[in-house]
Amino acid sequence: MDIPEGVYVITGATHGLGRACAMELAQRSLGCVVLACRNRVLAVNLANTICEEFKVSRGRIIVLEETLDLSEELSVRRYALSLSNWLKEERKTITTLINNAGIGGARFSTNSRGYDLVISTNYLGHFLLTILLLPYIRGRVVNVSSQNHDPENGIPGTHPEISYPQTESEYIGQALYGRVPLPEGLKARELRLSRSKLFQILFTYELSRRINGSYPQYIADSVKEVVTNLPHGNSCKLAEGKSISVIAMCPGVLPESNAMSCMLGPTAGFIIWLLSRILRMIPYCRRLMRTLKESGHHLANLALFPRDGGTAGFFVDGVAVPSSKFTLSSDGLTKHAIMLWDLSVQWTNLTEDELKAAGL
Q: Which residues are known catalytic residues?
A: 177
Rounded Cα distance, 273 and 300, in Å: 23
Rounded Cα distance, 208 and 187, in Å: 32
Q: What is the DSSP string of 210-271?
A: HHH-PPPTT--HHHHHHHHTSTTTT---STTGGG-EEEEEE--B-TTSSHHHHHH-HHHHHH
Positive/negative CA dihedral, 20, 244, 317, 148: positive
Rounded Cα distance, 18 and 22, in Å: 6
With contact defined as beta carbons under 8 Å apart, do 320 and 314 qualify?
yes
Rounded Cα distance, 317 and 203, in Å: 21
For Cα atoms 266, 269, 273, give the angle at the middle one, nearest 5 degrees.
135
Rounded Cα distance, 97 and 84, in Å: 13
| Identity of residue 339 | M
Question: What region, left, alpha or beta, does residue 114 occupy, with left being phi > 0 and alpha being psi -120 to 50 degrees?
Answer: left
| Number of neighbours of residue 309 by Cβ within 10 angstroms | 17
Distances (CA, A) of 125 to 24, 206, 228: 25, 17, 29
With contact defined as beta carbons under 8 Å apart, do 9 and 94 qualify?
yes
At 150 the three-state DSSP class reads coil
With contact defined as beta carbons under 8 Å apart, do 256 and 292 qualify?
yes
Positive/negative CA dihedral, 152, 208, 172, 175: positive
Strand pairing partners for 314?
248, 321
At 101 the three-state DSSP class reads coil
